[in-house]
Structure 1
């Protein structure tokens, strides 16, 4: 009886290096959509500050001093402090990038679970205080949202990929324009375009919900996050092999 040789030909699968890197990028795009939603809700419905754009909040804090606007100072300053607390908590849970890390390390998902817990508190506070929130409740909600996105920011840093972020994207825009000017290949520009479009789309959807469907705002923040957690929990944990040119 002839012996059958094992099939050792390489296979391209969704769990191969390219597939895993693309999946990670897609999940980061979804988290960036969440960021846009949260920033729009925070700015339009929670006192006029941002949940993730700390550069903008620092500008608002400076403006509040020049305009002698104590309310704006409290709002923007509270968002900054809450974001910092979220970053510290997220960094403690997610840890730092290590040699031999998988494409999506488990601590990243654990940090996102922490973010989910903060947003669940956000949901309870939001719904209990409908149909209208007092200024104090709005401030608490903004602080919760900023803390959650601070956790998310630290979680993405665990990947150890320079320039990869779902919360602070001025560098992404700068890199994109620089790449266009240098006539970089399309496959290096596409991931940056996707991230920026996700942010703007999320902001548009978040603004629509904040203005016209106020009660649904927390759901808009929870659904993308739960989806990312569900998918990332099934990501393989073998050491990553970065594919050249992959996002």
Structure 2
């Protein structure tokens, strides 16, 4: 879990949370209310659309969910049980995010008009971004170490609440702060994504791809400094 991560890995987790929030903030606006990392939200949204008879919107949401799961599968396949390949996984995330950015730039849309059949125009971008976010959630999986999903913020909030009560009862006074850092990171990322989208439109996704590449470089450097230990 997060409270057992060394500081170097915690720093990478925080950076990835910022990245996820940034991309999801952009996607939420660009896709007219759908997410690429928050699948609980998409499940609810799709269920509501299905109940309302909008099969296209419901199908879009479920397609994004499937893409996310496929991204998790791909990330798991890239990772090795014997060697740390976080840097390679993050390079793949950077690449698929860049593809999503290119697709979005080639087909800009009015977020207010992204409904029903119009969702088909943004579907390729949504799929690419969801694939990347699914893969991001596998960075801290496997190799026998602490395992958790970067974008599982509901779980992080639960840990914050539990940690505060534990601290008041005389337990660990600071462990919950790590979960707070992750929640703040994804919130800051979402704010940054919304601001960037307002300023640059879909071109803001290129910054996400560059940022993901930078995190890959940091992960590789940390891994090298720790020898064979995961970064």
What is the TM-score when the length of structure 1 is the normalising length? 0.78
Match of 1:226 among 200, 213, 228: 213
Q: More helix by proportion, 1 or 2?
A: 2
C-alpha contact (below 8 Å) 1:86/1:146 kept by paired residues: yes
C-alpha contact (below 8 Å) 1:47/1:75 kept by paired residues: no
RMSD: 2.4
* Partner residue, 1:238: 227
Output the CA distance in 1 between the equivalents of 2:95 and 2:158.
33
Task: Give the deviation of 1:213 after TM superposition.
Answer: 2.2
1:114 aligns to 2:99 (yes or no): no
* Partner residue, 2:49: 64
Task: Give the deviation of 1:159 after TM superposition.
Answer: 5.9
Q: Secondary structure at the match of 1:213?
A: helix
Give a deviation string over 1:6-32, Cα, whole Å, max 9, x none.
xxxxxxxxxxxxxx9212111110110
C-alpha contact (below 8 Å) 2:20/2:189 kept by paired residues: yes
Task: Give the deviation of 1:220 after TM superposition.
Answer: 3.1
Output the CA distance in 1 between the equivalents of 2:103 and 2:55.
24
Gaps of 5+ in 2: 112-117
Output the CA distance in 2 between the equivalents of 1:160 and 1:53.
26
1:82 aligns to 2:82 (yes or no): no
Match of 2:141 among 142, 151, 157: 157
Could you say if the C-alpha distance between residues 131 and 174 of structure 1 is closer, same or farther in structure 2, counting changes exceeding 3 Å?
A: closer
Output the CA distance in 2 between the equivalents of 1:160 and 1:206.
34
Could you say if the C-alpha distance between residues 206 and 56 of structure 1 is closer, same or farther in structure 2, counting changes exceeding 3 Å?
A: same
Output the CA distance in 1 between the equivalents of 2:142 and 2:34.
27
* Partner residue, 1:5: none
Task: Give the deviation of 1:198 after TM superposition.
Answer: 0.3
Output the CA distance in 1 between the equivalents of 2:165 and 2:109.
49
1:190 aligns to 2:174 (yes or no): no
Gaps of 5+ in 1: 1-19, 99-104, 242-247
Residue range with higher mean Cα deviation, 130-139 or 206-215: 130-139
C-alpha contact (below 8 Å) 1:106/1:233 kept by paired residues: no
1:204 aligns to 2:191 (yes or no): yes
Could you say if the C-alpha distance between residues 194 and 160 of structure 1 is closer, same or farther in structure 2, counting changes exceeding 3 Å?
A: farther
Q: How many residues align?
A: 215
Task: Give the deviation of 1:87 after TM superposition.
Answer: 0.8
* Partner residue, 2:130: 146
Output the CA distance in 1 between the equivalents of 2:160 and 2:144.
20
C-alpha contact (below 8 Å) 1:42/1:49 kept by paired residues: yes
What is the TM-score when the length of structure 2 is the normalising length? 0.83
Output the CA distance in 1 between the equivalents of 2:144 and 2:13.
13
